[in-house]
Amino acid sequence: DQQVKQNSPSLSVQEGRISILNCDYTNSMFDYFLWYKKYPAEGPTFLISISSIKDKNEDGRFTVFLNKSAKHLSLHIVPSQPGDSAVYFCAARGYSGSARQLTFGSGTQLTVLP
């Protein structure tokens, strides 16, 4: 049972426009959320995060929004650039026993067209 879902496997956006990547989760005990970016044949790199006590966090062109009642978060990239083309994973922190662990979604391939 997937606790973190990214329902859009792919997204194409024109350069300069806004990219919106979505993520839904089912576990209300998740208390911290992160977005990672991954290029082919490389490991994921951290992009931005948000605590469950906030509803928005912004870092340059990247903004993450959290809607706890809907168990939904989204990543906005404005303006989108061709170098943003990558797979984006959302991740949520939960507990397995006493251990804190991250649960990842299946990723969304973003393609920014020049």
Partner 1 sequence: EADIYQTPRYLVIGTGKKITLECSQTMGHDKMYWYQQDPGMELHLIHYSYGVNSTEKGDLSSESTVSRIRTEHFPLTLESARPSHTSQYLCASSGLGEKLFFGSGTQLSVL
Of the candidate spans 21-29, 57-65, 71-79, 104-112, the one that interacts with partner 1 by CB under 8 A turns out to be 104-112
Q: What angle do CA 71, 33, 76 make, to 5 degrees?
A: 80
Measured distance CA(36)–CA(38) in Å, rounded? 7
CB of 10: closest distance to partner 1 in angstroms?
A: 10
CB of 79: closest distance to partner 1 in angstroms?
A: 26
Measured distance CA(78)–CA(16) in Å, rounded? 7
Closest CA to 90 of 61, 65, 54: 65
Nearer to partner 1 by Cβ, of 7 and 17: the residue is 7
Footprint of partner 1 on 19-78 (CB under 8 A): 32, 34, 36, 41-46, 49
Measured distance CA(10)–CA(33) in Å, rounded? 21
Of the candidate spans 19-27, 67-75, 78-86, 94-102, the one that interacts with partner 1 by CB under 8 A turns out to be 94-102
Could you tell me if 6 and 90 are in contact, meaning their C-beta atoms sit under 8 angstroms apart?
yes
The contact set with partner 1 (CB under 8 A) reads 2, 4, 9, 32, 34, 36, 41-46, 49, 89, 91, 93, 96, 99-107
